[in-house]
């Protein structure tokens, strides 16, 4: 058993490309070996901006020679009635270097077939690698790739060297104009610029001796530890930023951290703007005070030049930071001078989605949707807080929500958001400006939060108005995109509508908002009076699909999810509460008996054309004069008796009591099926009894469709 090393040396690859490509490299190399039944042990993955590398341990020398049994044609096709070989048998045996005399017959599940045994040649691992690695390198996926030599091969960035070692043996192959070898390269400033890897086991130590830290985790740990040390030495602590830590790990081969400073006057900038300026333009970490969230006029830069003159390089970073912070201050001052409300009128000049109007049109739709949402449930009244520039206007929640909806898109036209380093702050910039311009806190907070959550796992709005404005914005995006015909299909979702639907529903679930999805979608669609509505009917399907996925993420069993989705999916918060309640009841013996009864009712009503859609929903009551059997009269009486209490229990979310009320019907339902012939010969009796069952089912449906529950063993 030997070790295998494969290194692809390149120009600097974007940080986001590295992880997926490295995983795919390992998968493809393992697949190539497995195809030839060559075992391989554990692996180590290495990456820097200039290299992707894989080391496999305990790789076999190859597959040895062996005897294999090959199945041929059926016996009756290989031999005639006299037992002589046919042309089929001759051709099969000749194709494998044999004669018909080498054939033998064996029974198989499909009948008798002819077989032969053949000695296969050994397959050396080096041969597999020589043939397979060029194709593997060419097939690695990247968001973007480029050509750089006359052969036209493609990769994320130009490849400059290739290392492939199996033990101490070089595996020779060509890719483009390059030939593989044992020579790698260190840092751009390394002397000598290239050096030999003696064997795979020495890969990491050899590169370390030339200044390159190839294990990604080692670089990440070193950056995190040195960042903490430098921040503490400045009397503070680093601003936590996992995204920046990951990025600086992937853009360095030998990280060198430097403590730098900027003029304290820039601390007057909003903290988010200041930290973003340092992060986006220079990939630097901000430093805050040890005992508070206030920032210090210090930052930590991550250089890729070990042993550099710290004072000189720090000066370069500080000059660059000064330039960016000066720009940021100019943007803030100019934007605040212009104000947000003046920008609302300018939104008329900016197209949002082709055919869907301007940003001003979107703003007006958001205001209407927020009015609809503000009437949903009880919205407590609050008074806006005062700010440093004087007393804020006094708004109740509904008025504050309307004000936030009016101003929430204005920051897209500000100098700050239009500057590429700060586009990620859209919404938050609007909230900061609103606060500084004297808007109430409830308005500023809603504006700042209305893009949340931006991605799966992102934080949610913490204020009710922020939540409602976020729901309105995401729904308007979904509806407008559907109406243009851009509907997600399979893995294609260029406008991230699934993500937005998930974010919308997550807010509803986590804040238990009494939102009716059907009413909300209808209200949103009506706000596009001139748009074609042919795709509007597909919008609820997207939301239903995403809600089902979220219930699964909450640990809800698929059958319980199906039971509540059938009857109450348009009230997502209610669906989740009911699903949790059903999960608590599910293992109770009486609950399972109730499910059996509901399955029986559902089976009788399923597919019967005798009832209209309205009757099947339980909307048409049976005629009491046609209830001839004592048990059906009793079932009708008991159903009517519990209905008010059932509705009251459901309104109070007392699902335990609702369950007990429905459970009380079970003995009578069981007796009904024993005593009453539902499918009576008389049409009027038959229809009346089906109506009775439909009404009983509709009572259960107010909680959930229990017929969807799966009983183990059935």
**212-231 pLDDT per residue, tens:** 999 999 999 999 999 999 99
Q: What is the distance, to the nearest Å, from the Cα of residue 524 to the centroid of all Cα atoms in its chain?
A: 25
Closest to 217 measured CA to CA, from 250, 244, 184, 258: 250
**Residues 399, 529 within the same domain:** yes
Q: What is the distance, to the nearest Å, from the Cα of residue 52 to the centroid of all Cα atoms in its chain?
A: 26
Residue that is last in its domain, among 338, 362, 385: 338
**pLDDT for 713:** 54
- State the total domains in the chain: 5
Compute the average pLDDT of residues 141-159: 94
Provide the 8-state DSSP code for 176. Answer: T
**pLDDT for 388:** 31
638 occurs within a structural domain: yes
Tens digit of each residue's pLDDT (9 = 90 or more) over 436-465: 999 999 999 999 999 999 998 899 999 999
Domain that holds residue 704: 568-708
453 occurs within a structural domain: yes
559 occurs within a structural domain: no
402 occurs within a structural domain: yes
**φ and ψ at residue 238, rounded to 5 degrees:** -70, 145
**Residues 424, 487 within the same domain:** yes
Burial class (CB in 10 A: 0-12, 13-18, 19+), 113: middle
Cα distances (Å, whole numbers) of residue 595 to 531, 551, 568, 614, 657: 45, 21, 18, 24, 17
Strand 183-185, strand 146-147: pairing: unpaired
Residue that is last in its domain, among 511, 528, 553: 553
Tens digit of each residue's pLDDT (9 = 90 or more) over 596-641: 777 777 777 764 445 455 544 545 788 888 888 899 899 899 989 9
**Residues 83, 152 within the same domain:** no
Is residue 74 within 8 A of residue 57, CB to CB? The reply is no
Tens digit of each residue's pLDDT (9 = 90 or more) over 234-277: 999 999 999 999 999 999 999 999 999 999 999 999 999 999 99
Cα distances (Å, whole numbers) of residue 665 to 15, 426, 616, 643, 669: 63, 56, 20, 11, 6
* Mean of pLDDT over the chain: 89
Taking the CA atoms of 554, 558, 564 and 566 in sequence, report the sign of the dihedral they define: positive
98 occurs within a structural domain: yes
pLDDT band at residue 714 using 50, 70 and 90 as cut-offs: low
Residues 6+ apart with CB under 8 A from 357: 351
**Structure token pair of residue 95:** 């194709």
Provide the 8-state DSSP code for 296. Answer: E
pLDDT band at residue 381 using 50, 70 and 90 as cut-offs: very low
**pLDDT for 390:** 33
pLDDT at 411 over 60: yes
**Residues 542, 619 within the same domain:** no
* Element spanning 33, H or E: helix 15-35
610 occurs within a structural domain: yes
**Residues 6, 136 within the same domain:** yes
162 occurs within a structural domain: yes
For residue 461, the number of C-alpha atoms closer than 13 Å in the C-beta half-sphere is 35
Is residue 38 within 8 A of residue 60, CB to CB? The reply is yes
**pLDDT for 550:** 94
Is residue 700 within 8 A of residue 566, CB to CB? The reply is no
Residues 6+ apart with CB under 8 A from 275: 239, 241, 286, 295
**Residues 524, 473 within the same domain:** yes
Angle at which helix 539-553 crosses helix 497-510, to 10 degrees, equals 60
**Residues 699, 649 within the same domain:** yes
Burial class (CB in 10 A: 0-12, 13-18, 19+), 408: buried
In the chain, what is the straight-line distance between the N-terminal and C-terminal CA atoms, in Å? 52
The count of residues in the chain is 714
Separation of alpha carbons 490 and 493, rounded Å: 8
Q: In sequence order, what E strands does 329-417 have? A: none
**pLDDT for 168:** 93
Strand partners, 114: 105
Separation of alpha carbons 696 and 600, rounded Å: 12
- The alpha helices in 203-299, defined as continuous H runs, are 203-209, 216-233, 242-250, 271-282
Provide the 3-class DSSP secondary structure of residue 368.
Answer: helix
pLDDT at 45 over 90: yes
**φ and ψ at residue 194, rounded to 5 degrees:** -135, 160
**pLDDT for 246:** 96
Is residue 318 within 8 A of residue 261, CB to CB? The reply is yes
Provide the 3-class DSSP secondary structure of residue 562.
Answer: helix
Is residue 21 within 8 A of residue 141, CB to CB? The reply is yes
Compute the average pLDDT of residues 55-71: 91
Q: What is the distance, to the nearest Å, from the Cα of residue 72 to the centroid of all Cα atoms in its chain?
A: 49
- Residue scoring higher pLDDT (624 or 46): 46
Separation of alpha carbons 300 and 288, rounded Å: 11
**Residues 179, 116 within the same domain:** no
Strand partners, 104: 115
Provide the 3-class DSSP secondary structure of residue 695.
Answer: helix
Separation of alpha carbons 637 and 366, rounded Å: 49
pLDDT at 359 over 50: yes
Burial class (CB in 10 A: 0-12, 13-18, 19+), 308: middle
Provide the 3-class DSSP secondary structure of residue 171.
Answer: coil
Range name among 261-265, 320-324, 570-574 with the lowest pLDDT average: 570-574
Residue that is last in its domain, among 209, 243, 269: 209
Is residue 562 within 8 A of residue 708, CB to CB? The reply is yes
**Residues 382, 491 within the same domain:** yes
- Residue scoring higher pLDDT (131 or 624): 131
pLDDT at 532 over 90: no
Using a pLDDT cut of 90, give the percent of the chain over it.
Answer: 67
Own/partner contacts of 114-118, CB < 8 Å, gap of 24 or more, are 114/71, 114/72, 114/73, 114/74, 114/75, 114/78, 114/79, 114/89, 115/69, 115/70, 115/71, 115/72, 116/69, 116/70, 116/72, 116/92, 117/67, 117/68, 117/69, 117/70, 118/67, 118/68, 118/69, 118/70
**φ and ψ at residue 8, rounded to 5 degrees:** -110, 110
**Degrees, nearest 5: CA angle 673-649-702:** 50
**pLDDT for 154:** 94
**pLDDT for 595:** 80
**pLDDT for 591:** 78
Using a pLDDT cut of 70, give the percent of the chain over it.
Answer: 95
Concatenate the DSSP letters of all residues of 397-439 into one string: HHHHHHHHHHHTTGGGGSHHHHSGGGGGGTTHHHHHHHHHTT-
Range name among 300-304, 588-592, 651-655 with the lowest pLDDT average: 588-592
pLDDT at 670 over 90: no
Separation of alpha carbons 254 and 234, rounded Å: 23
429 occurs within a structural domain: yes
**Degrees, nearest 5: CA angle 200-203-208:** 170
Is residue 303 within 8 A of residue 313, CB to CB? The reply is yes
**Residues 425, 459 within the same domain:** yes
**Residues 275, 350 within the same domain:** no
**Residues 650, 509 within the same domain:** no
Q: In sequence order, what E strands does 405-553 have? A: none
Closest to 511 measured CA to CA, from 547, 446, 460: 460
pLDDT at 396 over 70: no
**φ and ψ at residue 114, rounded to 5 degrees:** -95, 150
Compute the average pLDDT of residues 153-178: 96
Provide the 3-class DSSP secondary structure of residue 350.
Answer: coil
Strand 295-303, strand 256-261: pairing: antiparallel
pLDDT at 24 over 80: yes
**Structure token pair of residue 344:** 């609302």
pLDDT at 382 over 70: no
């Amino acid at each position: 058993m030997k070790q295998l090393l494969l290194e692809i040396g390149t120009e600097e690859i974007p940080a986001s490309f590295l992880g997926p490509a490295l995983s795919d490299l390992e998968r493809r190399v393992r697949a190539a070996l497995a195809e030839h039944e060559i075992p391989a042990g554990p692996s180590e993955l290495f990456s820097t901006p200039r290299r992707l590398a894989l080391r496999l341990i305990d790789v076999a020398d190859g597959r040895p020679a062996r005897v294999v049994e090959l199945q041929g044609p059926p016996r009756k096709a290989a031999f005639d009635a006299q037992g002589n070989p046919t042309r089929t048998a001759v051709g099969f045996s000749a194709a494998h270097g044999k004669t018909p005399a080498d054939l033998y017959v064996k029974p198989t599940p499909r009948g008798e077939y002819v077989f032969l045994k053949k000695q296969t040649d050994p397959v050396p691992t080096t041969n597999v690698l020589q043939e397979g690695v060029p194709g593997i390198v060419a097939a690695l996926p990247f968001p973007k790739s480029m050509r750089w030599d006359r052969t036209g091969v493609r990769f994320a960035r130009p490849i400059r060297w290739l290392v492939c070692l199996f033990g101490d043996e070089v595996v020779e192959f060509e890719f483009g104009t390059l030939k593989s070898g044992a020579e790698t390269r260190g840092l751009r400033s390394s002397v000598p610029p290239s050096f030999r890897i003696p064997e795979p086991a020495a890969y990491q130590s050899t590169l370390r001796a030339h200044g390159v830290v190839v294990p990604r985790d080692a670089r990440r740990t070193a950056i995190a530890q040195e960042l903490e040390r430098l921040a503490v030495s400045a009397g503070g602590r680093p601003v936590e930023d996992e995204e920046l830590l990951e990025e600086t790990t992937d853009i360095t081969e030998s990280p060198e951290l430097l403590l730098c400073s900027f003029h304290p006057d820039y601390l007057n900038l909003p903290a988010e703007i200041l930290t973003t300026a340092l992060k986006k333009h220079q990939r630097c970490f901000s430093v805050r005070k040890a005992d508070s969230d206030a920032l210090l006029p210090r930052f930590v830069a991550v250089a890729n030049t070990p042993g550099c003159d710290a004072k000189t390089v720090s000066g370069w970073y500080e000059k660059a930071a000064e330039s960016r912070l000066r720009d940021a201050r100019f943007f803030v001052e100019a934007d605040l001078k212009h104000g947000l409300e003046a920008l609302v009128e300018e939104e008329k000049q900016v197209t949002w989605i082709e055919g869907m109007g301007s940003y001003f049109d979107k703003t007006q739709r958001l205001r209407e949707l927020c009015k609809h949402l503000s009437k949903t449930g009880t919205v407590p009244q609050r008074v806006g807080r005062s700010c440093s520039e004087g007393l804020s206007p006094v708004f109740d929640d509904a008025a504050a929500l309307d004000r936030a909806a009016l101003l929430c898109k204005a920051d897209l036209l500000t100098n700050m958001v239009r500057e590429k380093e700060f586009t990620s702050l859209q919404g938050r910039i609007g909230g900061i400006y609103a606060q500084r311009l004297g808007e109430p806190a409830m308005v500023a907070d809603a504006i700042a939060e209305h893009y949340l959550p931006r991605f799966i796992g992102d934080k949610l709005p913490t204020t009710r108005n922020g939540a409602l404005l976020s729901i309105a914005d995401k729904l308007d995006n979904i509806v407008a995109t559907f109406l243009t015909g851009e509907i997600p299909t399979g893995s294609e979702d260029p406008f991230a509508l699934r993500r937005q639907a998930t974010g919308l529903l997550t807010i509803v679930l986590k804040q238990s908002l009494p939102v009716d999805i059907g009413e909300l979608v209808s209200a949103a669609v009506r706000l596009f009076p001139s748009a074609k509505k042919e795709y509007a009917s597909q919008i609820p399907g997207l939301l239903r699909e995403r809600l089902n996925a979220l219930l699964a993420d909450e640990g809800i069993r698929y059958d319980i999810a199906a039971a509540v989705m059938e009857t109450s999916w348009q009230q997502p918060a209610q669906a989740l509460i009911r699903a949790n309640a059903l999960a608590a009841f599910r293992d109770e013996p009486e609950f399972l008996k109730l499910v059996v009864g509901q399955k029986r009712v559902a089976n009788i009503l399923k597919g019967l054309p005798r009832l209209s859609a309205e009757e099947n929903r339980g909307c048409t009551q049976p005629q009491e004069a046609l209830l001839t059997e004592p048990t059906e009269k009793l079932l009708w009486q008991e159903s009517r008796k519990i209905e008010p209490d059932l509705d009251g229990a459901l309104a109070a979310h007392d699902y335990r009591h609702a369950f007990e009320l429905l459970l009380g019907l079970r003995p009578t339902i069981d007796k009904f099926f024993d005593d009453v012939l539902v499918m009576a010969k008389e049409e009027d009796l038959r229809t009346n009894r089906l109506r009775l069952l439909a009404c009983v089912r509709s009572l259960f449906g107010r909680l959930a469709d229990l017929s969807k529950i799966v009983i183990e063993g059935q």
